[in-house]
Structure 1
Amino acid sequence: MFTLSVGDVAAASGVASSAVRFYEQHGVITAVRTAGDQRRFDEGAACRIRVAKVAQRVGLTVREIAEIFAGLPDDPQPADWGQVADTLIAEAESRTAALKSYLNDMQSAGRLCEIDL
């Protein structure tokens, strides 16, 4: 189960080893410790990091991503990932709508300091 090293997860997810430790520290992924105090991750860690990177591009914080992932079972199935995707899509659409509203407000030739946030 928990057999992948930090380097393995980093290579599989396309991030630096320090990023793997960062995501673990913030609850996006979980590790167990060996007798030699080395971190070991399960096969899903790289997938979670890749999804987290997409979520960050949408604008979610690492804390928000960890909260979304907290609802996933230990061995997420496609339907579970579908729910995560639905959440990310809804969040992206909401943030896009807010950004469009801000753009419209800025183009209205009003005073920028009077834009409602």
Structure 2
Amino acid sequence: MRYVAIGELARQAGLRPSALRYYESLGLLPTARREGGRRLWPAATLRRIALIRMSQRAGFTLAEIRGLLDSSADQGATRQWRALAERKLPELDDVIRQTRYLRDAVAGCLACGCMNFNDCELLTGDPVTEA
């Protein structure tokens, strides 16, 4: 089995070594092997880091991710993942709706061309600007 030092693993993952130490302290990564005062992880740990980062981008908390990783070895993992994903989908749909609204607002502002927030007709009736 090939082991990778923390600096190399961090570089390959696009993270800082402190992030790996943090993930390890939360139980998201297995405890690193120590050799000559250096933390070493199996090279396959990079795949686990990719899963953690993908899950974070999808809106899962680190606690949720840890629960999924902890249960991944047992038979309940599939059911747990499905339940968590079903709860998370409406949240993601809401984020998508909000992002589309913001995108359309920015596009509208660019199309308006006035570039003056005080006089912009697009902002008339906006509860945020009238507060």
Which TM-score band applies after superposition, normalised by the shorter structure? 0.5 to 0.7
Q: Displacement, 1:98?
A: 4.7
Tell me the percent identity.
29
1:33 is the counterpart of 2:34: yes
Q: Displacement, 1:24?
A: 1.1
The amino acid across from 2:47 in the alignment is C
- Cα distance change, pair 8–90 in 1 and its aligned pair in 2 (3 A): farther
C-alpha RMSD of the superposition: 3.1
Structure 1 runs of 4+ off > 4 angstroms?
98-101
Render the CA deviation track for 1:2-40: whole Å, top value 9, x for unaligned: 621111211221211111111111111121112x22211
Render the CA deviation track for 1:51-80: whole Å, top value 9, x for unaligned: 10111112222122122112345xxxxxxx
- Alignment check: 8 A CA contact 2:58 2:92 kept: no
- Cα distance change, pair 64–3 in 1 and its aligned pair in 2 (3 A): same
Gaps in structure 2 of 5+ consecutive residues? 98-131
1:94 matched residue in structure 2 = 87
If you compute each CA radius of gyration, which structure gives the higher value, 1 or 2?
2
- Alignment check: 8 A CA contact 2:59 2:92 kept: no
1:46 matched residue in structure 2 = 46
Q: How many residues align?
A: 92
The amino acid across from 2:33 in the alignment is V
Gaps in structure 1 of 5+ consecutive residues? 74-82, 104-117
Distance 1:96 1:40 in 2: 36
The amino acid across from 1:54 in the alignment is M
The amino acid across from 1:32 in the alignment is R
